[in-house]
Amino acid sequence: MAARSLVLATRNPHKLREFRRLIEPAGIAVDALPDGTQLPPEDGNSFAENALPKARAAAAGAGRASIADDSGIEAAALGGAPGVRSARYPGEGASDQQNLDKLMREAPVGSPLRYVCALVYVDPAEEQEQLFCGYCDGRLAERPRGSRGFGYDPAFIPDESDGSRTMAELSDEEKDAISHRGEAARALLAWLEGR
């Protein structure tokens, strides 16, 4: 395995915490983005299109192997919205609560949802770029419940749990075992270990 540490290209403290939980037990430190590193705007049409420039910017800024995820939630009843606009569903600068409120207003209770994570690894030394994807299927809760996790978690009932608790009611271990981010991180670790 090459990298013993990775830079994570995010300003989202929830993502940093989750990636540390997922990756550090494998002996690879996940470091925050160095101060002053500029991240590009998220104006791509797919999660992968948004993740790649973020990982490249972090790798160029830090000069070492970096990862970036772009993630979000797709509602089948809304044709896949909010998708890549998940962090700013009602508009730029929206809070997690405003994003959640809009999804609750627009998607029918019980309708299918899917979390998606595109995770990109960039190693400037080896000119290597790799994409890993993870998914988590679920449905919309009748009302938000739970205080763990972040973002849309209080409204998301994962198919793979007991079918009643929201993602925000699961323990960290339970979320990591079934989440889109967990699936993508495990694919990254398997690939790193196989090199």
CB closer to ligand IMP out of 66 and 86: 86
**β-strand partners of 71:** 117
CB closer to ligand IMP out of 44 and 124: 44
Count of residues interacting with ligand IMP (CB under 6 A): 17
Point out which span in 24-32, 59-67, 103-111, 143-151 binds ligand IMP (CB under 6 A).
Answer: 143-151
Residue 166 engages ligand IMP in binding (rule: CB under 6 A): no
Point out which span in 30-38, 55-63, 66-74, 105-113 binds ligand IMP (CB under 6 A).
Answer: 66-74
Point out which span in 33-41, 65-73, 102-110, 185-193 binds ligand IMP (CB under 6 A).
Answer: 65-73
Angle at 10 between CA 4 and CA 12, to 5 degrees: 120
3-state secondary structure of 25: helix
Q: Rounded to an integer, what distance in angstroms lies between the CA atom of residue 35 and that of residue 33?
A: 6
| Contact pick of 16, 21, 39, 42 for ligand IMP (by CB under 6 A) | 42
| Contact pick of 99, 119, 121, 138 for ligand IMP (by CB under 6 A) | 99
State the nearest-atom distance from the C-beta of 59 to ligand IMP, in Å. 18
Residue 130 engages ligand IMP in binding (rule: CB under 6 A): no
Q: Rounded to an integer, what distance in angstroms lies between the CA atom of residue 119 and that of residue 122?
A: 10
Residues 123, 110 contacting (CB under 8 angstroms): no
Which residue, among 17, 69, 66, has the nearest Cα to 42 in the 3D structure? 69
Q: Rounded to an integer, what distance in angstroms lies between the CA atom of residue 5 and that of residue 111?
A: 40
Residues 176, 189 contacting (CB under 8 angstroms): no
State the nearest-atom distance from the C-beta of 47 to ligand IMP, in Å. 7
Q: Which residues form the catalytic set? A: 70
Q: What angle, 0 to 180 degrees and rounded to 10, lies between the N-to-C axes of helices 13-23 and 180-193?
A: 50
Residues of this chain that interact with ligand IMP (CB under 6 A) are 12, 42, 70-73, 86-87, 99, 115, 149-153, 179, 181
